[in-house]
Amino acid sequence: MLDLTYETPKIKTIAGAKHDWELVIGMEVHAQVSSNAKLFSGASTRFGAEPNSNVAFVDAAMPGMLPVINEYCVEQAVRTGLGLKAEINLVSAFDRKNYFYPDLPQGYQISQLYHPIVGEGEVLVELGDGTARKVRIERIHMEQDAGKSIHDMDPNMSFVDLNRTGVCLMEIVSRPDIRGPEEAAAYIAKLRQIMRYLGTCDGNMQNGNLRADVNVSICLPGAYEKYMETQDFSHLGTRCEIKNMNSMRFIQQAIEVEARRQIAIVEGGGEVEQETRLYDPDKGETRSMRSKEEAHDYRYFPDPDLMPLEIEQAWVDDIAKALPELPDEKKARFISDFGLSDYDASVLTADVESAGYFEAVAEGRDGKLAANWVINELFGRLKKEDHDITESPVSPAQLGGIIELITKGDISGKIAKDLFEIVYTEGGEPSEIVEKRGMKQVTDTGAIETAVDEVIAANPAQVEKAKANPKLAGWFVGQVMKATGGKANPKAVNQIVAAKLGL
Amino acid sequence: MSIDQNTAAKVAKLARIKVEEDALPALASEFNTILGFIEQLNEVDVEGVEPMVSVTPMRLKRRDDVVTDGDQQDKVLSNAPDAREGFFAVPKVVE
Amino acid sequence: MSDLNKLTLAEARDALRKGDTTSVELTESCLAAIDAADALNAFVHKTPDIALERAAAADTRIKSGDAPSMCGLPIGIKDLFCTKGVPSQAASRILEGFKPEYESTVSQKLADAGAVMLGKLNMDEFAMGSSNETSVYGNAVNPWRRGNDDAPLTPGGSSGGSAAAVAADLCLAATGTDTGGSIRQPAAFTGTVGIKPTYGRCSRWGIVAFASSLDQAGPMTKSVRDAAIMLEAMMGHDPKDSTSAELAVPDFEAMLTGDIRGKKIGIPREYHMEGMPAEIDALWAEGRKMLADAGAEIVDISLPHTKYALPAYYVIAPAEASSNLARYDGVRYGHRATLAQGDGITEMYEKTRAEGFGHEVQRRVMVGTYVLSAGFYDAYYNRARRVRTLIKRDFETVFAQGVDAILTPATPSAAFGLGEMTDADPVQMYLNDVFTVTVNLAGLPGISVPAGVDAQGLPLGLQLIGRPWEEGDLLNTAYALETAAGFVAKPGNWW
C-alpha cells in the first residue's frame, strides 16, 4: 500500500496593499469519457468530424426521441471513482438541468444533481518539491456535453454543431482544498494522470476533453483553518467561478489575476459578488458573464425518461479487481523494489507507458541503472525528436540488452552510448552489434599485459618519470586504451599498469 | 401563495415565452386559479412518504458502447428553419 | 360488401381472410368516408397514397397466406405520433412543416402488423386539453349530437380526432395517447372503446412527449375485441425506450372468454363526486349490477387519496411538459418567428414560442416552470410526487385485498358543447379528467367501455381499472361488461 509521506506545501500568499492574502480554490473538472458512442445515443464521439455528422435524432432532440444509457460510460465513471478512492453509490439518478441555449437541443442537460454515481474521495497532489497536498473530492457525476456554437463565421449569425452534444462527461468536483495556482495545475495534472492510467479519459485538453471550472476566493491567513475545523464556508471569502478553462497555463494565470482582482475589491472596501466569469488570455483579465448568468434558475428535477441507475456491488467489485496499479502505488513500488529516488520514480510513473517501459527494462536487471538509461539517454533522445515513449525505436528488450552488456562488463559506459545510438538509428540486437563491430571490452589479462608491455618497452623515459611520480601512470593507461581501440577493460588496464610499473 | 404580475413576467421569461405587458394581469390571475387548486395538496400528510421515482419500477436498460447511429447530416438538418454549410444557423449569440 | 368502413377490426380481418373483400376496397371505403367527413375535422393530414400502397401490399400478403394480425386493416394515427415523411405536428403551430425522418415504434409496429395508415388525426395541442379545442387545426367535432339539437359537441380530448373518426366510421380503429384520460374520456364521449395500458407497455419512442412519466399510447376502437387485437399489435418491449417493460405480449383476443365468475370488482366510494349528474350515478350502479349478474363479486373499496389526484397531476404533468417542450425553440425544426432588426437569440426563443404555442400549452409550460423554480420545487413538485406515491399505494392496497378490477364512471358528464367551456376557468376543464387521472398517476391499465346513453341520447362510458400488466384480464372484464351493456347505438350521419 501507499507508503509515501509528504510535507504539506507552503501556502502561496499574495501581498495586497494592506494584507497578505491566501487563496482558496475548488475545481469542477469535466473529463470526457473515452467511449466510442455517446452517453445516451449511438452516435460516434469522434473528434473533428464534419459538422452535425455525429448526431443521432436523440442528440438533435427531435420530437419523441428518448435516451438509453451507454453502460461503458457508467463503468468508466465507477472506475474513475475507484481510482480516486471514492465511495461508489449503488443507486444514482439522472436529473434534468433546464436552460435555453442553441447548442443545448433538449433545452436541458441530463446530469446527476441529487444522486451522483460517485461520492467522496481524495487525491494526493504532489508538487515536485517533496511536498504534496491531499485534495478531497466531493463527488463525481455523469452528464451530457453540450454542442458547439461558432460565433465568428458570420457577422449576424451563430452556427451550431451538435457533434459533441451528448458525449459523456464526468464532472469531478473537489472541495476547496487547493491553495494556489501551482497546486491547481498539479491537481489537474494528477487527475489527468490517474484517468490516463485508468483509460477512462484521454486527458486531451487541447480538444477540450479535459476542462475545468475554477472557483476562486481569497481569505486572510487563519481563516481557512477555521473553515477546515468547522466546514463552515462563512469563514471563506465569496467565490467566483471562472468557466471552461482548457489550458494549465491559463488556469494558473486566471487564478492569479482573479485573486488580485478580488483583493483589490476587498481592500478598496467593496464586496466580491458571486458570479461566473470568463478568462481572457489576450487581455490577461477575467470578465463577468452576466448575459449567461441572468435569471438563471435551472429547475432541476429527476429525468422521467430514465429510471434510477442501480448497479450491483459485485459488478463494482469486479471493476475494482481489474483496476490497474495507480500512479501512487506504482511510484511507491518503484522506490521500494528498484531503489529509485523519489524524483526518478515520479518521472518514470508520469504515464503508464513510461512506467511499463521502464519495468520491462528493469525486470531482472539493475533497476537504478535501468532508470538512468531510460530517463537520461532514452527520454533525452526521444525529446530531441519530439517523440513520446510509444514511438521509441528502441524496444525495452534492446535497451535491456545494452544494460546487460554494461553490467557484465562487456562494454564500457562510453561504448554503451555509442551502441545506444546505433540501436536507436539503425536497430539491431545489441550483443550482435557489439560482436560484429568488435566493440567488446578486452578483459583477457594476457592480451592487456602484452599491450602494456609494448607501451612500457617503447617509452623507457616515461617509465622513469612515472616511477618518480605515480600520477603519471594515467598516461600509460591512456596509451594502452588507444592501442586497444578503447575496448580494453579500464579497470584491468589500471591494475596491470600499476603492477608492471611497480607502483 | 399569490402570483403578481412581476412573478408572472419572470416565469414567462424563464419559459422563454413572450407575453405582452397587457396580458400579464390575466396570466397572473390564471396562475392563481391553478395554484389555488394545486394547493389542496397541502392538506395531505406526506410525512415519511418517498416521492415517486418511477411508476413501474424496473432495472434501467443499458446499451453497449457501439456506434450505431449518426452519419446523417442531411436528415438532421432537413427540418431546420435555417441551415448553412452543415450547421444550424441562429441569430448571433453574445456570450 | 357495402359500408366496409363500418366494420370492426375483427369483422374486417375475418372478411379479408375469407376473401370476401380486399384491403384496397376497405381502404377506399374509408378514404371516401374521410373525404365526406371534413365537417368533423378529424383527419388533419390525409395520406391516401400511402394507404393504397400499403393496402395493395397487404392484399398480396393475404393472398400468399402470410397475413400478420392487422393485415390490411385501415386505421388512423393521432398527430402526436411521428410518422416518417408525413407531417407530425402534435396539432401545434410550433411543429408547422415538420416531417420526421423516423417512424414511432408504435406506428411502426402497427405497420409491421400490416395495418394501413389512412392519415393523421386531430387532437388537442401537445395532447393538452379535454375538448380538442386547443388544436391548431381547429377542433374536431363529435359525430354525436343531443337529440335533434344540431349544436356541435366536443369529441373530448386530447385524442378527440381519433374518437370522432372511429365513432363516425372513418377508419376501423385509431391510435390514441393518454396522459390524464386522453384516450378514455374521448372514447366515453363518442361511444367507442379506449384502453390505456400499464405504463411501460407501449413504447413512447417517436411519440411527441407531453408528460413522460404519465404518457401511454393505446388503441381506440369500436369494440373490446378490437381493442384486444390492436393493443397486442401496438405493445411490446422497445430497447429505444428506457421505460419500456421487458415483458412478453400475451394473446389478448384469446383471453376474451367473457367469463368473470368469481372476479372481485371494487367500487371506490371516493368516486361518488358531489354534484355528479344522476345519470352517471345510475349508469355506474347499472354497471355494477351487470358485472354482478355475470358472476363477479362486487365489493366496496376505498381509495382515500383520490381527491388529490387531479391537483397532483396538475403539478407533475405541467412540470414535465415545461421541460419536454423546451426543445421547441425554432433552432432545428418547426416554426421560427420572423425577427425584427436587432433581435437576438432570446427574442427568437420568446417570439417563436409565443407564436408557436397556443394559449393552453403556454399556460401549462409556465405553470410547470413555476412549480419547478427555485424555492417552490419541494413545496409543489416533490409534494405532488409524494402524493403520487400515496395514490399508487391506495391501489396497491386494494389489489392486495384481492380486487381484480375497479369499476368507475369514465367521465363526470356526457360530451359537452364546443365553446361551452370557453369562459370557464382552466380548472373547470381539468375536472373532466377526475376519474381517469388516478390511473395515469398509478401507472395502471384503464379502459373505457360504452355502457349507455343519457337522456339526450349521448353515449356514456364506464371505466374499468386493472392490475398492473394484466391488460388481458382487464379486457376480458371489459368484454363481459360490453356484452351485458349491449351498446349498439350509432350517431346519425349528419356531416
Q: Name the minimum distance, in Å, from the CA of C331 to any CA of chain A.
A: 7
Residues 6+ apart with CB under 8 A from C124: C91, C130, C131, C132, C133, C134, C135, C157, C158, C160, C182, C360
- pLDDT tens by residue, C46-70: 999 999 999 999 999 999 999 999 9
Which pLDDT score, from 0 to 100, does residue A3 have? 45
DSSP classification of residue B60: P
pLDDT higher than threshold 50 for residue A209: yes
- Reported as a single tens digit per residue, the pLDDT across A243-301 is 999 999 999 999 999 999 999 999 999 999 999 999 999 999 999 986 554 557 999 99
What is the least distance, in Å, from the CA of B40 to any CA of chain C? 7
The shortest CB-CB distance from C242 to any of A96, A108, A306 is to A306
Q: Residue B28 to residues B42, C249, C350, C370, C456: CA-CA distances in angstroms?
A: 21, 48, 18, 12, 39
Q: In this predicted structure, what is the pLDDT of residue C1?
A: 60
Quote the pLDDT of residue C424: 84
How large is the average pLDDT for residues A12-27?
A: 94
C465 vs C461: CA distance, rounded Å: 13
Q: Which CA distances in Å does C49 have to A54, A164, C96, C203, C442?
A: 34, 39, 21, 27, 41
Q: Assess B66–C contact: CB distance below 8 Å, yes or no.
A: no
| A60·B93 Cβ contact <8 A | no
Chain B residues inside the 8 Å CB shell of A160: 87-90
Q: Which segments of A235-308 are extended strands (E)?
A: 240-245, 276-280, 285-288, 301-302
Mean pLDDT over residues C228-236, rounded? 98
Chain C residues close to A305, C-beta within 8 Å: 209, 212, 242-243
pLDDT digits (tens, 9 = 90+) for C167-213: 999 999 999 999 999 999 999 999 999 999 999 999 999 999 999 99
With beta carbons less than 8 A apart as the criterion, state whether A261 and A236 touch.
no
**Is the pLDDT at A101 greater than 60, yes or no?**
yes
Q: A449: closest CA among A489, A422, A418, A486?
A: A489
- Cell 489575476 identifies what position? A257
Residue A497, pLDDT > 90, answer: no
pTM beyond 0.80: the answer is yes
Nearest-Cα residue of chain B relative to residue A298: B14
Q: Cα distance from A234 to chain C (closest Cα, Å)?
A: 22
**What mean pLDDT value characterizes chain A?**
93
Size of interface A-C (CB pairs under 8 A): 100
- Chosen for mutation from C240, C327, C361, C369 (greatest number of chain B CBs closer than 10 Å) is C369
Residue C177 phi/psi, 5-degree rounding, is -135, 155
Single out the catalytic residue among C23, C29, C69, C78.
C78
Residues of C whose CB is below 8 A from A61: 327, 332
Instruction: Provide the pLDDT for residue A492.
Output: 82
Q: How confident is the model at residue A465 (pLDDT cuts 50, 70, 90)?
A: confident
Quick check: A37 pLDDT over 50?
yes
Is pLDDT above 60 for A307?
Answer: yes
Q: What is the pLDDT of residue A295?
A: 59
SS3 annotation, A34-77? CCCECCCCCEECCCCCCCCCCCCCCCCCCCCCCCCEEHHHHHHH
Q: What is the DSSP letter of C294?
A: T
Q: Is C330 near chain B, with CB under 8 Å?
A: yes
Query: Which residues of chain B have a CB within 8 Å of the CB of A278?
Result: 95
Domains in chain A, ordered, with CATH?
A: 21-216 (no CATH), 324-436 (no CATH), 445-501 (1.10.10)
- Tens of pLDDT along C91-114? 999 999 999 999 999 999 999 999
**Is C302 an annotated catalytic residue?**
no
Q: How far apart are CA C101 and CA C82, in angstroms?
A: 9
pLDDT number for residue B72:
97
**List of chains touching B (3+ CB pairs within 8 A):** A, C
Residue B88 to chain C, least CA–CA distance (Å): 7
Find the closest chain A residue to B83 by CA distance: A159
Active site residue C196: no
Average pLDDT, chain C: 97
Q: What is the percent of chain C where pLDDT is above 70? A: 100
The nearest CA of chain C is from the CA of B13 a distance in Å of: 8
Residue C489 pLDDT class (50, 70, 90 cuts): very high
Which cell numbers in the block locate residue C127? Answer: 395532447
User: Is the model's pLDDT at A4 over the cut of 60?
Assistant: no
Does A107 reach chain C within 8 Å, measured CB to CB? yes
| Best mutation target, A41, A66, A71, A149, to test chain C (most C CBs within 10 A) | A66
C182, C203, C223, C244: which is the annotated catalytic residue?
Answer: C182
| pLDDT value of residue A449 | 86
What is the model's pLDDT at position A293? 45
pLDDT band at A499 (very low <50, low <70, confident <90, very high): confident
Q: Is C490 annotated in the active site?
A: no
Q: Residue C280: beta bridge partners?
A: none
Residue numbers in C near B55 (CB within 8 A): 199, 213, 388, 392, 441-443
Cα(A455)–Cα(A459) distance, rounded to whole angstroms? 6
Q: Give chain B positions within 8 Å (CB) of A36.
A: 65-67
Residue A2 has pLDDT above 60, yes or no: no
CA–CA gap between residue A272 and residue A24 (Å, rounded): 14
β pairing state of C297-301 and C264-268: parallel
Check CB contact under 8 Å for C323 and A108: yes
Confidence check: pLDDT of B44 > 80 = yes
User: Quick check: A199 pLDDT over 80?
Assistant: yes
* Averaged pLDDT, A112-135: 94
Helix (H, G, I), strand (E, B) or coil at A289: coil
C positions 191-220 inside 8 Å of B (CB): 198-200, 213
